[in-house]
Structures are given as C-alpha cells and as structure tokens.
Amino acid sequence: MELLVALLVVGILLYVMIASRKSGLDTAESHLDRVQDEKAAWEDERFVSYGQVQQTREELNTAIDSSFTGNEEHRSLLKEIVNEWANLRVKTFEERRSWVRSPKKEE
C-alpha cells in the first residue's frame, strides 16, 4: 500500500514537471517570436544607418531654409523638430547595437 501511494505521488510529480516544461517551452517560443518580429521590423525601416539620417537631416534643413524664408518662427520650429527626430533615430541605432559595436553604451 505504502509503495502504491509513493509511486502515485512520484508519478504525479513527474507529470507536473513534464507538463510544466511544455509551458516553459511555449514561453521561450513566444520570446523568440518577439525577437524575430523586432528584427524583421528593423529590416523594414526606411532609415537604417547613421549616414542616411545625417543626409536626410541636411536635405530637410535645406528644404526648410528655402521654403520658409518669410516665416522665421515656423522655420526654426521645423528645424528643431527635424533635428530632434534625427537625434532620436541615432539614439535608437545605438541602443539596438550590441556592446561589441557600441562601446560608449556599456563603459
């Protein structure tokens, strides 16, 4: 009788362990999916390098200068928005890169 109870308990515990591993695997798969989606989203982005952002910043600033000659307030506001956007883009690149390529971030 004692042996039967012991076997039953051990059996239940083994079932619990195996079943919980399945749920753990699902969590790992879900995490992997998120990482892959994130990577795929980066690949779809229009601006993917520091150089591209700087070039676009210059182009937009030139366009603003030539288009808003009569409205100084709008001109400086738009340039501020463009510069903030460019800085944020660069910051995003730095955060995305690993410590191998981004020494400032880690040390």
Q: C-beta of 68: minimal distance to another protein in Å?
A: 40
State which of positions 63-102 bind another protein (CB under 8 A). Answer: 98-101
By C-alpha distance, which of 56, 59, 77 is closest to 68? 77
Q: C-beta of 87: minimal distance to another protein in Å?
A: 21
User: How many angstroms separate the Cα of 66 from the Cα of each of 27, 57, 62, 70, 99?
Assistant: 54, 14, 6, 10, 41
Which residues in this chain contact another protein in the complex, by CB under 8 A? 2-3, 5-6, 9, 12-14, 16-21, 23-36, 39, 98-101, 103, 106-107
